[in-house]
A and B are shown apart, each in its own frame.
Chain A
Amino acid sequence: GAGVSQTPSNKVTEKGKYVELRCDPISGHTALYWYRQSLGQGPEFLIYFQGTGAADDSGLPNDRFFAVRPEGSVSTLKIQRTERGDSAVYLCASSLAPGGAEAFFGQGTRLTVV
């Protein structure tokens, strides 16, 4: 595809359940970012991958959140024991290299924990 693809676009889950959110970045982009955005707020940084490794995971709120990018392309954000406060839009972005001027965002996954 031409852009960053995120699936699912919407996810409703019960409190306490496990969820996985997928991001397929633009081909050839080595940098991949996960953000969380609440209504009326700016995107909040969660984790950044350079290739396969997590270069910076300082934004992950706690150990219920984990992300992988095993082959340096597709990434999965995993949330265990979901809480109502995890409800937000989860955005993925990719860029050609660290420090690149432009990051390309996917449409996001709207996660609702009930």
Chain B
Amino acid sequence: GQSLEQPSEVTAVEGAIVQINCTYQTSGFYGLSWYQQHDGGAPTFLSYNALDGLEETGRFSSFLSRSDSYGYLLLQELQMKDSASYFCAVRGWGKAAGNKLTFGGGTRVLVKP
């Protein structure tokens, strides 16, 4: 099976940097994705790492290390609108994983003035 662990909540002030860690256990996967979800809204795609290393998309960066079964999402220059829940997710391959997209429990980020 697949399981992903994230911290439940992070609080930071505007302009700060926040790192959300994701550790996972999986038999095999295409890559690690990150999604943002505002209260009452749909999850929206943020970033994807197919290979080890850092991917940068504006103020958001994501990192993957397959050897360490670990990834993180880095949010820079925090803004009030970044207050939301953030989920890491993997899509597995093979018979056991079945191509399903499995999510972590989510990290609630609260940005304060």
Chain A residues engaging chain B, CB cutoff 8 angstroms: 4, 31, 33, 35, 40-45, 48, 50, 55-56, 58-59, 91, 93, 98-108
Contacts and interface: CB of A to CB of B under 8 A. Distances in A.
17 contacts: A4-B42, A41-B105, A42-B104, A42-B105, A44-B103, A45-B103, A48-B100, A55-B98, A56-B99, A99-B93, A99-B99, A101-B31, A101-B33, A102-B45, A103-B33, A105-B44, A107-B42
Interface in B86-112: 87, 91, 93, 98-106, 108
Interface string B1-44: 00000000000000000000000000000110100000001111
Given A99-B91, A101-B50, A45 B42 contact: no
B30 A106 contact: no
Contact of B98 (A35, A44, A58): A58
Nearest to A99: B30
Given A35-B103, A103-B101, A106-B42, 10 more contacts: A4-B42, A41-B106, A42-B104, A43-B103, A45-B101, A45-B102, A56-B98, A93-B101, A102-B48, A107-B42
A105 B38 CA distance: 13
Contacts of B42: 4, 91, 105-108
B87 A55 contact: no
A93 B45 CA distance: 11
A105 B41 CA distance: 10
A108 B38 CA distance: 13
A91 to B, nearest CB: 7
